[in-house]
A and B are shown apart, each in its own frame.
Chain A
Amino acid sequence: MRRARPWALLLLLVLALAGAGCSTAADNDDGGDDQAGGGDNVDLTQGSDLTIAVITHGDGGSFWAVAKRGAEDAAKDLGVTLKYSESNNDAQQQAQMIEAAVTDKVDGLAVSAPDPDAISSAVRRAVDANIPVITLNSGLDSFRDLGALTHVGQTEAIAGEAAGKALADAGAKKMVCVIHEQGNIGLNDRCDGANKGFGGDVENMQVKGTSDIQTTLTEIQSKLQSDNSIDAVLALNPDIAIAARDAIKGASSDAKLGTFDLSGDVIKSVANGEIQFAVDQQQYLQGYLPVQMLMLYKRNLSTVGGGQPVLTGPSLVTKENASQVQELAENGLR
Chain B
Amino acid sequence: MGGAAQAKPAPPSGKPVSVVDDRLSDVSLVTKLLRRPELGALIGALAVGLFFAATAESFRTLGGVANWTDVASTLGIMAVVVALLMIGGEFDLSAGAMTGTSGLLLGVLVTEWGLSMWPAIVVTVAFAACVGLFNGVMVMKTKLPSFIVTLATFFILQGLNLGVTKAITGTVRVAGLVDVPGYESAATLFSSTFWEPYKFRISVVWWIAITLLATWVLARTRFGNWIFAVGGDANAARNVGVPVQRVKISLFVLTSTAAALVGTMIALRLGSIQAGQGIGEEFTYIISAVVGGCLLTGGYGSAIGAALGALIVGMAFIGIQFSGWNTDWRFLFLGVILLMAVLVNNLVRKSAEGARR
Contact residues of A with B, CB < 8 Å?
Answer: 3, 6-7, 10, 13-14, 17-18, 20-22, 24-25, 28-29, 31-33, 35-36, 51, 60, 81-86, 89-93, 95-97, 99-105, 115, 117-121, 125, 181-185, 188, 206
Asked if A120 contacts B28 (CB within 8 A), the reply is no
Please list the 9 inter-chain residue pairs (A to B) with the smallest Cβ-Cβ separation, ordered nearest first: A183-B276, A183-B274, A32-B326, A32-B325, A182-B276, A117-B272, A118-B270, A103-B63, A100-B67
Q: Among the listed A20, A29, A182, which residue makes an inter-chain contact with B162, where contact means beta carbons less than 8 Å apart?
A: A182
On whether the beta carbons of B348 and A29 are closer than 8 Å, the reply is: no
Given A13-B347, A96-B71, A115-B173, does the pair A31, B329 have CB atoms closer than 8 Å?
yes
Taking A20-B340, A22-B47, A92-B266 as contacts, is the C-beta distance between A182 and B274 under 8 angstroms?
yes
* Interface check B34, CB cutoff 8 A: yes
- Would you give the shortest CB distance from B100 to chain A, in whole angstroms? 9
Further contacts, 12 of them, CB under 8 A, given A81-B324, A117-B176? A7-B355, A21-B44, A21-B51, A29-B323, A32-B324, A82-B324, A92-B269, A101-B321, A104-B58, A115-B175, A183-B173, A184-B172
- Rounded to whole angstroms, the CA-CA distance of A32 and B325 in the bound complex is 5
| Segment touching A, from B114-122, B143-151, B330-338 | B330-338
Q: How far is the CA of A190 from the CA of B66 in the complex (A)?
A: 38
B327–A85 contact, CB under 8 A?
A: yes
Asked if B189 is at the interface of the complex by the 8 Å CB criterion, the answer is no
Query: Contacts A92-B266, A103-B67: A32 and B328 contacting too (C-beta < 8 A)?
Result: yes
Residue of B nearest to A10 (CB): B351
Given the complex, which residues of B lie within 8 Å of A90, measured CB to CB?
Answer: 276-277
A118-B270, A183-B274 are contacts. A18–B43 as well, Cβ < 8 Å? Answer: yes
Contacts A6-B354, A32-B328, A118-B270 known; A185 to B171 CB distance under 8 Å? yes
Q: Within 8 Å CB of B30, what residues of A?
A: 7
Which listed residue (A31, A89, A96) contacts B67, Cβ 8 A? A96
Report yes or no: B175 in contact with A86, Cβ–Cβ below 8 A. no
Chain A hits for B212, CB < 8 A: none
Number of interface residues of B (CB under 8 A): 63
The smallest beta-carbon distance between B47 and chain A, in angstroms, is 5
Closest chain A residue, CB of each to CB of B161: A182
Contact between A17 and B344 (Cβ–Cβ < 8 Å)?
yes
Q: Is the CB of B272 within 8 A of A103?
A: no
Chain A residues near B343 (CB-CB < 8 A): 17
Q: Judge whether B328 and A92 touch: CB under 8 Å.
A: no
A105 to B279, CA, bound (A): 31
Give the complex CA separation of A83 and B270 in angstroms.
24
With a cutoff of 8 Å between Cβ atoms, the chain A residues found around residue B322 in the complex are 100, 104
| Bound CA–CA A181/B63 (angstroms) | 33
| Cross-chain contact B344 with A83 (CB below 8 angstroms) | no
A28 is contacted by which of B66, B178, B324, B329 (Cβ under 8 Å)? B329
User: Does B307 make an interface contact (CB < 8 A)?
Assistant: no
Q: Which residue of A lies closest to B274 (CB)?
A: A183
B273 — which chain A residues lie within 8 A by C-beta?
91, 118
Task: Please provide the chain B residues from 64 to 78 with a CB less than 8 Å away from any CB of chain A in the complex.
Answer: 64, 66-67, 70-71, 74
Are A103 and B58 interface neighbours, CB within 8 A?
yes
Report if B61 contacts A (CB, 8 A). Answer: yes
Q: Do B321 and A10 touch across chains, with their CB atoms under 8 A apart?
A: no
Closest beta carbon of chain B to A81's beta carbon, Å: 7
**Chain B interface secondary structure, helix, strand, loop or mixed?**
helix
The answer to whether A89 touches B318 (Cβ under 8 A) is no
CA distance in complex: A7, B356 (Å):
12
Does the CB pair B354–A14 fall under 8 Å?
no
> B266 to A21, Cβ gap below 8 A?
no
A-B contacts, 24 listed (Cβ < 8 Å) = A10-B348, A17-B343, A21-B44, A22-B51, A36-B325, A36-B326, A60-B328, A85-B321, A91-B270, A92-B277, A100-B64, A103-B63, A103-B64, A104-B58, A105-B58, A115-B175, A117-B175, A118-B271, A118-B273, A181-B276, A182-B161, A182-B162, A182-B274, A183-B276
- CB neighbours (8 Å) of B51 from chain A are 21-22, 25
A206-B326 contact given A96-B67, A103-B58, CB 8 Å threshold: no
Q: Give the residue of A18, A28, A183 whose beta carbon is less than 8 angstroms from that of B333.
A: A28
Query: B residues within 8 A CB of A188?
Result: 171-172
How far apart sit A206 and B44, CA to CA, in the bound complex (Å)?
40
The reply to whether B351 and A25 contact each other, CB–CB distance below 8 Å, is no
Q: Which residues of B contact A18 (CB under 8 A)?
A: 43-44, 47, 340
Chain A residue contacts of B63, Cβ below 8 A = 102-103
Instruction: Output the least CB separation between B326 and chain A (Å).
Output: 4
Given known A115-B274, A117-B270, A118-B271, contact A35–B326 (CB-CB < 8 A):
yes
- Asked whether any CB of chain A lies closer than 8 Å to the CB of B289, the reply is no
Contact with A along B283-322 (1 / 0, CB 8 A): 0000000000000000000000000000000000110111
Smallest CB separation, B143 vs chain A (Å): 30
Nearest Cβ in chain A — how far from B255, in angstroms? 19
Q: Please tell me if the beta carbons of B326 and A6 are within 8 angstroms of each other in the complex.
A: no
B185 close to chain A: CB less than 8 A: no
- Residues of B within 8 Å of A86, CB to CB, are 327
B254 at the interface (CB under 8 A from A): no
Nearest Cβ in chain A — how far from B273, in angstroms? 8
Which residues of A have CB within 8 Å of B340? Answer: 17-18, 20-21
- Contact indicator per residue, chain B 259-285, by CB within 8 Å of chain A (1) or not (0): 000000010011111111101000000
One digit per residue, 1 when the CB lies within 8 angstroms of any chain A CB and 0 when it does not, for chain B 34-59 equals 10000000011001100100010010
Taking CB as reference atom, which chain B residue is nearest A15?
A: B43
Q: Closest Cβ of chain A: how far from B65's Cβ, in Å?
A: 9
Q: For A33, A91, A185, which residue has the most chain B Cβ atoms within 10 angstroms?
A: A91
Residues of A within 8 A of B55 (CB): 29
Q: Which residues of A contact B61 (CB under 8 A)?
A: 103
- Per the bound structure, the CA–CA distance linking A125 and B67 in Å amounts to 13
Whole-angstrom distance between the Cβ of A9 and the nearest chain B Cβ: 8
A122 to B131, CA, bound (A): 32
Q: Which residue of A lies closest to B159 (CB)?
A: A206
A20–B74 Cα gap in the complex (Å)?
29
- Of A51, A84, A96, the contact of B70 (CB 8 Å cutoff): A96
Q: Which residues of B contact A10 (CB under 8 A)?
A: 34, 347-348, 351
Chain B residue at minimal CB-CB distance from A129: B197
Contact at A99–B70, with CB atoms within 8 Å?
yes
Closest Cβ of chain B to A98, distance in Å, is 10
Q: Which residues of B (134-162) have their CB < 8 Å from a CB of A? A: 158, 161-162
